Structure 1
C-alpha cells in the first residue's frame, strides 16, 4: 500500500457534528468558483475545466423516505462550441480549390439533418439576447439573427466533442427567427452533420450528489446511504466530502463510482486572532501584530487544532 493518502488522516479542529455543519454552510453559500473547484479537484474529477459551465448548489434535499441528502450541485457541461469562422473549418480540414469543390466537401460533412428544434419559444428580447450571446455569437451576429426576414435563416459552423473529448467534429447550424407583435421571439434551429447528431444546443445540465461523511459511519453504511440517495433522486455522480480517509477506503469509494474530496479544502476561512490562537504548529501563533484575519487552521484552547 502506498504511504500517501488521498484524503489526509488527520484529526479535525472541531467535532464531527460542527464539521458537518461547516461543510454544509460552505456548500450553501459557496460562490461558483468554489463549487467548480469541488467538481474539478475531487478524485476522480467530475468534469474537465474546458467543459464546465455554470454551477449552483442546493442543500437539505428531501428524499421519498422522509430523510434528506446533504447537498446537490447542478452544473453545466458544454458539448458544442461555435467555430470562430468558416475559415476556421477550412483550415482544419485543409479545404482547397474552387467554390464548387468546397461546397461539395461541405455537403459531404453535413449530409444528415436533424429535426427542427426550439431554442426559445415566445421569449422576450432580453432572453433572446442572453441565449444567443451565451452561445458565443458576437453582437453583430445577434442583431442579424434577431432581425432575419420571415423566410431567411442564419447559418453558422460549430464543433461538437469527438470520442477523445476534443471539439473537432464540425456541423452546420441553421437558425430561424419569428418575431411577434407583442415583442416576443421564437428561435428555431436545425443541425446538419456527418453522422452523429449534436446532443444539445451548447450544453446540458447535470447533477452530482454531495455526501458529508461522519467519522462514526463506516465504509459500508456510507456507501449504502450514497447508493440509496442516488437511486431515489436519479443522480449517478456523487462526491464524498470527508475529513479523514486512508488509501484503501478512498480507493473503495472510487471503485464504486464515488469521487472523494478533503473537507478542509472546502471549509470557509474562520475569522482568526493569531494572538489567542492555540495552534502550536503555526509560526504566527501568539503574534499580536499578525496581518492574518481569516484562517482555516485557527482554533482556541479546548479545541483540537
Structure 2
C-alpha cells in the first residue's frame, strides 16, 4: 500500500478548496512556472525540468468522440530528447577522445538523412537553430555552408531516466534557394540507439480535477476517454482529498497525481502580502487585483 509519501493527497480540506470551475480558472491563468511544476512535481513525475521546452495549456477541451464530455485541461509541452553539448551549464561540453578507437566506438552506426525544415524563411531557420542551442557564430556557419559541406556537432541523448547518455555526432547541412528560403537536413553517427528526433517532440497530457461526487471508476473513465482521444498513455489528476486505496488505484492505472492546493496561489493574490518588491502595487491595501500570476506570498520566498 502507498502510505507516507502520499500524505498531501490524503489531507482533509481546511476550508473551501477551489471547486471544479475555480480550478479550471486557475489552470487558465497559471503562468509557465506553475504549468511546468504540474509536470515536475506530480507523483510520479511526468517530466524532469530539463526535459521540458515550451509549454501551454488548453482549458475545457471537449472530447470529439464524446461531445457531452470535456476534459478540464490539456497540457502541451515540448518534450526534449537530446541536447547540444555545452549548450547549458547542466550539459557536458564537447567529449574528448584519446584514441581514434574511442571515437569510432560511439559513431559506428549511421542514420539516414532527415529533413529538419524545408523552404523556411531565414528568420525561422535562425530561430530553429537557436532553440536547439547553437550560438550566433555556429548559426551563421550552418546557413553559409557550401553546397557539399556539413556542420559537425556533438550532442547527448536523454535516457529513460532522464539522464544524459553516450554522446553522438550530428551532421547538419543547409540549402539556400533563389527565393531566399532554406532547407535544413541532418544525419547522426551514434553508438547503438538512434537519437529520437532532432531535439524534441510535442506531447499532450490530459489534466482533470478530481470530482468528489463521482466514484473512483467514473473519474477514471473520464480520464481514460481523454487518453484514448489524445492517443497518450499519461494523465494528470489534480486532487487533495483521496483515500489511500484511491491513490494506489490511480497510480496503478498510470495516472499521476498533483495536489489541488498547488493551484490556489494564482487565485488568492493579495498585494499587501506579496513580496514582489518591484511591482508598483506591492504592499497596497486598496489594490483591485484579485488574481495574479506573479503573486509571491511570504512562505514562497526563499
TM category (shorter chain) comes to 0.7 to 0.9
> In 1, distance between residues paired with 2:152 and 2:271?
60
- Counterparts in 2 of 1:234 and 1:87: CA distance versus 1, 3 Å: closer
Q: TM-score, normalised by structure 2?
A: 0.81
> In 1, distance between residues paired with 2:109 and 2:193?
9
> In 2, distance between residues paired with 1:232 and 1:87?
41
Q: For 2:123, what is the secondary structure of its paired residue?
A: helix
Unaligned runs of 5+ in 2: 273-283, 293-302
Shift of 1:273: 9.6
Alignment partner, residue 297 of structure 2 = none
* Residue 48 (str. 1) matches residue 45 (str. 2): no
Select the structure of larger CA radius of gyration: 1
Runs of 4+ aligned residues of structure 1 deviating over 4 Å after TM superposition are: 1-4, 271-274, 288-291, 293-296
8 A Cα contact 2:71 2:222, kept in partner = no
> In 2, distance between residues paired with 1:11 and 1:233?
35
> In 2, distance between residues paired with 1:289 and 1:89?
56
- Counterparts in 2 of 1:242 and 1:154: CA distance versus 1, 3 Å: same
Alignment partner, residue 171 of structure 2 = 174
- Counterparts in 2 of 1:68 and 1:112: CA distance versus 1, 3 Å: same
> In 1, distance between residues paired with 2:41 and 2:228?
25
Q: For 2:94, what is the secondary structure of its paired residue?
A: helix
Q: TM-score, normalised by structure 1?
A: 0.80
> In 1, distance between residues paired with 2:42 and 2:269?
26
Alignment partner, residue 270 of structure 1 = 268
Alignment partner, residue 302 of structure 1 = none
> In 2, distance between residues paired with 1:247 and 1:22?
25
Unaligned runs of 5+ in 1: 275-287, 297-305
C-alpha distance after superposition, 1:41-77 (max 9, x if no partner): 1111111112222211012222112122111101122
Alignment partner, residue 12 of structure 2 = 9
Q: For 2:78, what is the secondary structure of its paired residue?
A: strand
Match of 2:71 among 47, 69, 72: 69
Shift of 1:106: 2.0
> In 2, distance between residues paired with 1:163 and 1:134?
23
> What is the count of residue pairs matched by the alignment?
271
> In 1, distance between residues paired with 2:270 and 2:85?
49
- Counterparts in 2 of 1:87 and 1:203: CA distance versus 1, 3 Å: closer
> In 2, distance between residues paired with 1:226 and 1:234?
12
The residue correspondences of 1:28-39 to structure 2 (distance < 5 A) are 28-39=28-39
The residue correspondences of 1:1-305 to structure 2 (distance < 5 A) are 2=3, 5-7=7-9, 8-13=11-16, 19-63=19-63, 64-66=65-67, 67-84=69-86, 88-90=94-96, 95-96=97-98, 101-102=99-100, 104-267=101-264, 268-271=266-269
> In 1, distance between residues paired with 2:157 and 2:52?
14
